[in-house]
């Protein structure tokens, strides 16, 4: 008979183990370390500190000239697109971004392109990568509930009630890590053209990454709730639903932000 696995003294069934793993993955953990925490303060001091290892170059880092060249190429490809379908094709074809090699699916948009409200998120996660559509995992389910509370839905045919959804990055970063500045810079021309072609009336910037991309600002907890201008349109920064899942108390402020959007739509 095999012993029941345990975690910190608790019996660990398969379902709980999977939930724990998913939770850690959502927090950004992408490699196993140790079974138990290691108290380095309690360890004997080393006689001689080893020389610090040189910092590894980030995987996506490119020499500045090459990176600039890629941004110029992305800009030209985006500008040449005259419809959303052409833009999606151009963005999918763009080979300058390393993330493309590790992702399963291209994740361009979801919802109704005629919507008055366009939501811009960060990047596909695991479920989005699997389905090739933005915001279809747990955070996406919360996003749907939030916007349903003010009468908006990505399934709505009527533009008044509809939502259109995209992300700054269209390919999943490994282990759901944060997008790097070079990746944001390369995708920005596509995002700007996406907004231009979709012509929404209002933008919602979901979390820090779209604020970095569209406003060149970060600090979503300060930015949220204050209307600003992005890509020439009225834009509302809001806390990301993944943050709201971890911080339920912040849902009160998110509700205030949704009411502010509803008031703009009515006004
Ligand atoms: N988080 C995002 O920002 N976008 C998604 O599509 C999914 C999770």
Confidence band, pLDDT 50/70/90 cuts, at residue 16: low
How high is the pLDDT of residue 19?
A: 57
Domains of the chain: 65-265 (3.40.470.10)
Cα four-point dihedral sign 125, 86, 214, 186: positive
Tokens describing residue 98: 């390393």
Q: Which residues line ligand 1 (CB under 6 A)?
A: 121-125, 128, 134-135, 137, 139-140, 167, 206, 242
Ligand 1 atom at minimal distance to the Cα of residue 128: 6
Confidence band, pLDDT 50/70/90 cuts, at residue 137: very high
pLDDT, one tens digit per residue, over 114-131 is 999 999 999 999 999 999
In terms of DSSP H, where are the helices of the chain? 14-26, 64-80, 84-93, 99-102, 126-131, 138-148, 181-198, 208-215, 220-223, 241-246, 251-266
Of 202, 109, 110, the C-alpha closest to 154 is 110
How remote is the CA of residue 136 from the centroid of ligand 1, in Å? 8
SS3 159: helix
pLDDT, one tens digit per residue, over 214-257 is 999 999 999 999 999 999 999 999 999 999 999 999 999 999 99
Least confident of 10-24, 86-100, 192-206: 10-24
Choose the residue to mutate in 106, 119, 171, 242 for probing ligand 1, maximizing ligand atoms within 8 Å of C-beta: 242
> CA angle, 27 as apex, 100 and 221 as ends, to 5°?
95
Give per-residue burial for 147-163: e unless 16+ CB within 10 Å, then b: beebebbbebeeeebbb
Please say if the pLDDT value at position 161 is more than 60.
yes
pTM: predicted TM-score of the whole model, two decimal places: 0.78
Closest residue by Cα to atom 7, ligand 1, is 135
């Amino acid at each position: 008979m095999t012993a029941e696995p345990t975690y910190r003294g608790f019996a660990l069934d398969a379902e709980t183990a999977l939930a724990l793993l998913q939770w850690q993955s959502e927090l950004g953990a992408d490699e196993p370390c140790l079974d138990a925490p290691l108290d380095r303060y309690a360890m004997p001091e080393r006689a001689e500190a080893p020389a610090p290892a040189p910092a590894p170059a980030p995987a996506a880092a490119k020499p500045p000239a090459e990176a600039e060249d890629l941004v110029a190429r992305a800009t030209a490809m985006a500008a040449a697109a005259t419809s959303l379908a052409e833009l999606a094709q151009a963005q999918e074809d763009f080979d300058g971004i390393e993330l493309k090699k590790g992702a399963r699916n291209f994740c361009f948009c979801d919802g109704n392109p005629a919507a008055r409200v366009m939501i811009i998120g960060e990047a596909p996660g695991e479920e989005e990568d699997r389905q090739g559509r933005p915001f279809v995992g747990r955070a996406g389910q919360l996003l749907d509930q939030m916007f349903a509370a003010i009468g908006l839905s990505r399934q709505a045919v009527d533009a008044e009630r509809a939502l259109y959804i995209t992300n700054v990055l269209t390919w999943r970063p490994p282990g759901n890590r944060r997008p790097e500045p070079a990746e944001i810079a390369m995708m920005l021309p596509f995002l700007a053209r996406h907004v231009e072609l979709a012509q929404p009336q209002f933008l919602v910037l979901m979390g820090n990454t779209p604020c970095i991309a569209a406003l060149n600002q970060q600090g979503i907890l300060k930015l949220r709730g204050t209307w600003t201008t992005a890509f020439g349109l009225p834009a509302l920064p809001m806390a990301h639903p993944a943050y709201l899942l971890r911080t339920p108390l912040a849902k009160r402020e998110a509700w205030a932000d949704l009411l502010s959007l509803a008031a703009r739509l009515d006004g």
